[in-house]
Amino acid sequence: MTAAAEVVAGPVIARTESVTRTFGSGPTEVRALRGVSLSVSQGELVALRGRSGSGKTTLLSILGGLDRPTSGRVEVAGQDVTALDADGRARLLRDTVAFIFQAFGLIPILSAAENVGLPMRLARTAPAARERRAAALLDLVGIGGRAGLRPYEMSGGEQQRVAIARALANDPRLLLADEPTGQLDSETGGQIMRLLRSIVHAEGITAIVATHDPVLIGLADRVLNLKDGVLS
- The DSSP bridge pattern shows strands 222-227 and 45-49 to be parallel
> Whole-angstrom Cα distance, residue 106 to residue 165?
11
User: Per the CATH hierarchy, to which homologous superfamily does domain 1-96+174-232 belong?
Assistant: P-loop containing nucleotide triphosphate hydrolases (3.40.50.300)
Name the β-bridge partners of 178.
Answer: 101, 210
Show me where the domains of the chain are located.
1-96+174-232, 107-171
Task: Write down the pLDDT at residue 6.
Answer: 44
Residue pLDDT tens, the chain, 232 long: 344 444 445 689 999 999 999 998 888 888 999 999 999 999 999 999 988 888 999 999 999 999 999 999 999 999 999 999 999 999 998 899 999 887 888 999 999 999 999 999 988 899 999 999 999 999 989 999 999 999 999 999 999 999 999 999 988 999 999 988 888 888 888 888 888 888 888 888 999 999 887 877 888 999 999 999 999 8
> Whole-angstrom Cα distance, residue 229 to residue 142?
37
pTM (2 d.p.): 0.88
122 within 8 A of 104, measured Cβ to Cβ: no
Judged on CB neighbours under 10 Å (0-12, 13-18, 19+), 105 is middle
Task: Write down the pLDDT at residue 131.
Answer: 94
CA atoms within a 13 Å half-sphere pointing along the CA-CB vector of 65: 26
222 within 8 A of 7, measured Cβ to Cβ: no
141 within 8 A of 164, measured Cβ to Cβ: yes
Helix (H, G, I), strand (E, B) or coil at 90: helix
Of 42, 10, 39, residue with least CA distance to 174 = 42
Task: Write down the pLDDT at residue 10.
Answer: 66
